[in-house]
Amino acid sequence: MSMVNRFVARSAQRGFTLVELVMVIGLLGVISGMVMVFMKSPIDAYFASARRAGVTDVADTAARRMSRDIRRALPNSVRSPNSQCLEFIPTKTGGRYRVEALIAGDGTNLDFTIADSAFNLLGSNAALPADQRIGVGDLVVVYNLGVPGADAYNQDNTSDVIALGAETSAPVEAPIQITARKFPLESPARRVHVVPKDEKVVAYVCSGGNLYRTVSTALTTTANCPISGAKIAAKVKLVLAQSTLAAIFAPDIGQLAVVVRAVLAVRYRLPPLHT
């Protein structure tokens, strides 16, 4: 093989030198750094947005749950002893009681002149959804005004359900037996509310940046604001002033309704910027 052929063969087999390899690696590093400078901000913004969305979603879920609970509160039972606590008596169902007896003296009507122990509820109790049916141990409340003499917290106008009778078909009514009670006031709309036996008071309390929902089976004259219940949200603050409990008179039911304005603020700290 001639010298020229040997030179051509060696040139064809030649690879990268170490210097060339180091230069290529250096250039790739510079290019990657430049690309990362432009990509870092959008990536950081994406993760920050995801964290904010997660925290906000928790607060939104808690606010919706509060709203749902407050909608079924017994009229005039919402109380707020401070800006971090909200208590009320929940209801499971309601209905209208019979005003006039089907037959004189048969005890089917609710009599407000005596300590009555039975009355008929208009409509079928058995036809209600399972979680709304009246059961033994539930609490019957008539015309709660939240004032002395007509305050459910003081048990002025409440009575325990002790038995349920067989429903009648014509007309469709549900006999309810209660602990004998002389209710102080008739309801203008002839309505009765029923409080579940296992959930007589619900309290939403914000403490230490956490929102708690606590259920009590006992009625108390003063708000306790317990935090022994389930924690339903973290990193939040409940902003609720007593002045935001606006009373509105509802002529159709003859009772005061309460509009609750509450703000559930989310505590979120932006991550530090990295250079």
pLDDT in tens, 57-97: 777 888 888 889 988 999 999 998 888 889 999 999 999 99
Predicted pLDDT at 3: 58
What pLDDT, on a 0 to 100 scale, did the predictor assign at position 11?
56
- Phi, psi (5° rounding) for residue 224? -100, -25
- Contact between 205 and 84 under an 8 Å Cβ cutoff? The reply is yes
User: Does residue 260 register a pLDDT over 70?
Assistant: no
Q: What is the pTM of this model?
A: 0.75
Least trusted range by pLDDT, from 38-47, 148-157, 224-233: 38-47
Pairing relationship of beta strands 93-96 and 116-122 according to DSSP bridges: unpaired
The rounded distance, in Å, linking the Cα atoms of 155 and 149 is 9
pLDDT of residue 268 exceeding 60, the answer is no
Other residues' Cβ atoms within 10 Å of the Cβ of residue 119? 23
Name the residue among 215, 237, 217, 235 with its Cα closest to residue 226.
215
Domain boundaries, the chain: 52-90+199-266, 93-195
pLDDT at 8: 54
Q: Which residue has the higher pLDDT, 105 or 255?
A: 105
**How far, in Å, CA of 250 to CA of 87, rounded?**
22
Q: Are the CB atoms for 161 and 177 separated by under 8 Å?
A: yes
Least trusted range by pLDDT, from 17-21, 69-73, 237-241: 237-241
CA angle 270, 273, 275 (to 5 degrees): 170
Find where tokens 């029923």 sit. 194
Element (H, E) at 229: none
Q: Where are the beta strands (DSSP E) in the chain?
A: 79-82, 85-88, 93-96, 116-122, 139-141, 158-164, 168-169, 172-181, 191-195, 201-207, 210-216, 230-234, 236-239, 245-250, 255-260, 263-266
Nearest to 120 by CA among 110, 132, 128, 133: 110
| Alpha carbon distance 76, 62 (integer Å) | 23
Report which of residues 56 and 194 the model is more confident about: 194
163 pLDDT above the threshold of 90: yes
CA distance 211 to 209: 7
Is the pLDDT confidence value at 269 over 80? Answer: no
The kind and range of the H/E element at 29 are helix 18-71
In the block, residue with structure tokens 């750094």: 33
- At residue 173, does pLDDT exceed 80? yes
| pLDDT reported for residue 272 | 54
Sign of CA dihedral 102, 106, 110, 113: positive
Please write the tens of the pLDDT for every residue from 89-130. 999 999 999 999 999 989 999 999 999 999 999 999 999 999
Q: What is the mean pLDDT of the chain?
A: 83
- Higher-confidence position of 5 and 55: 55
